[in-house]
């Protein structure tokens, strides 16, 4: 009897709106980020055509199970270029398996290729975000300040 076991195949690649749209919408909704098909299509198409933006997906055995959205940021406050993580999501059933760390590693590679010296993200201060905050600190992020926001009317 000859049986072979194979490990799952993980690929991190640039997203493609045509094939990844529904999977990315599903991931966004898992974190209660409200979105629609049209809005997400616009965001993904904008990311695909803007050299200062990038959306990567983690594909496990052909299924998209995670994503990270990146933007290169220009700042008057700092002279070095920076890359912002504007979204990082791993599907609930695939968390705690190293996929988030792999997505962050890919974000670091993309940021370095764009000339960035800093990778940063912002996160809400809600109690349910505590596990995400612990994850960020565990993989080397430092808490460096507060985020303030104001709705524009």
Q: What is the pLDDT of residues 49-98, one digit of tens each?
A: 999 999 999 999 999 999 999 999 987 777 889 999 999 999 999 998 99
* CATH, range 10-138: 3.40.630.30
The pLDDT tens digits of the residues spanning 98-149 come to 999 999 999 999 999 999 999 999 887 778 788 888 899 999 999 888 778 8
Three-state DSSP at 83 gives: strand
Q: Please report the pLDDT score of residue 3 as a whole number.
A: 56
Residues 6+ apart with CB under 8 A from 12: 56, 57, 58, 59, 102, 103, 106
Q: Please report the pLDDT score of residue 147 as a whole number.
A: 78
What is the DSSP annotation of 7-36?
A: PPPEEEEE--HHHHHHHHHHHHHHTT----
Three-state DSSP at 81 gives: strand
Average pLDDT over residues 27-49: 89
Q: Please report the pLDDT score of residue 149 as a whole number.
A: 80
Q: Please report the pLDDT score of residue 78 as a whole number.
A: 74
The pLDDT tens digits of the residues spanning 5-35 come to 767 788 999 999 999 999 999 999 988 788 8
Domain ranges of the chain: 10-138
Average pLDDT over residues 39-58: 94
Which pTM value belongs to this model?
Answer: 0.86
């Amino acid at each position: 009897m000859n049986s072979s076991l194979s490990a799952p195949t993980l690929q991190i690649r640039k997203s493609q709106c045509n094939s990844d749209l529904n999977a990315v919408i599903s991931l966004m909704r898992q974190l209660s980020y409200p979105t629609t098909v049209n809005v997400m299509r616009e965001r993904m198409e904008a990311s695909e055509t803007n050299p200062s933006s990038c959306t990567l997906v983690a594909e496990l055995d052909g299924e998209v199970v995670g994503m990270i959205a990146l933007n290169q940021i220009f700042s008057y406050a700092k002279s070095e270029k920076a890359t912002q993580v504007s979204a990082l999501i791993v599907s609930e059933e695939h968390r705690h398996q190293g996929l988030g760390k792999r997505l962050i590693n890919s974000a670091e590679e993309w940021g370095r290729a764009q000339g960035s010296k800093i990778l940063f993200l912002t996160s809400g201060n809600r109690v349910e975000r505590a596990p995400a905050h612990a994850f960020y600190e565990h993989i080397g992020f430092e808490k460096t300040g507060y985020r303030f926001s104001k709705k524009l009317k």
